[in-house]
């Protein structure tokens, strides 16, 4: 019984907690760099996630972190500049922009 409890405890610790997308983060869009010509550069953000349920979950979590951070910085768009993943870790970096009007669309 002790072994089972220890295995369950370790499984819970190893499974990562994905970052939830905030209400403000939901308004932030991913864009291509060429769409940012009429946008104001706000800054650079980095995000990392490790030991999630899958590489895809880690990647989604880092994008959620980027969206949340961009919203806190006053941005409404980001262009992903780097993303690197392996079975244990994902690291992403993005440039944050404030774009009042992209390709004729109001945000």
pLDDT given for residue 3 in this prediction: 56
**pLDDT category, 10, cuts 50, 70, 90?**
very low
pLDDT, tens digit (0-9, with 9 covering 90-100), for 68-77: 999 999 999 9
Which tokens in the block code for residue 67? Answer: 């969206």
The span from the CA of 100 to the CA of 106, in Å, is: 7
Going from N- to C-terminal start, the domains of the chain cover: 25-106
Query: What CATH class has 25-106?
Result: alpha beta
Dmax over Cα atoms in the chain, in whole Å?
63
């Amino acid at each position: 019984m002790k072994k089972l409890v220890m295995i369950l405890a370790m499984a819970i610790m190893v499974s990562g907690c994905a970052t939830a997308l905030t209400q403000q983060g939901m308004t932030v869009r991913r864009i291509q760099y060429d769409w940012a010509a009429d946008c104001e550069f706000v800054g650079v953000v980095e995000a990392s996630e490790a030991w999630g349920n899958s590489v895809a979950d880690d990647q989604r979590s880092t994008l959620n972190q980027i969206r949340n951070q961009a919203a806190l910085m006053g941005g409404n768009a980001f262009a992903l500049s780097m993303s690197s993943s392996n079975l244990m870790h994902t690291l992403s970096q993005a440039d944050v922009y404030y774009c009042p009007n992209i390709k004729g669309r109001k945000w």
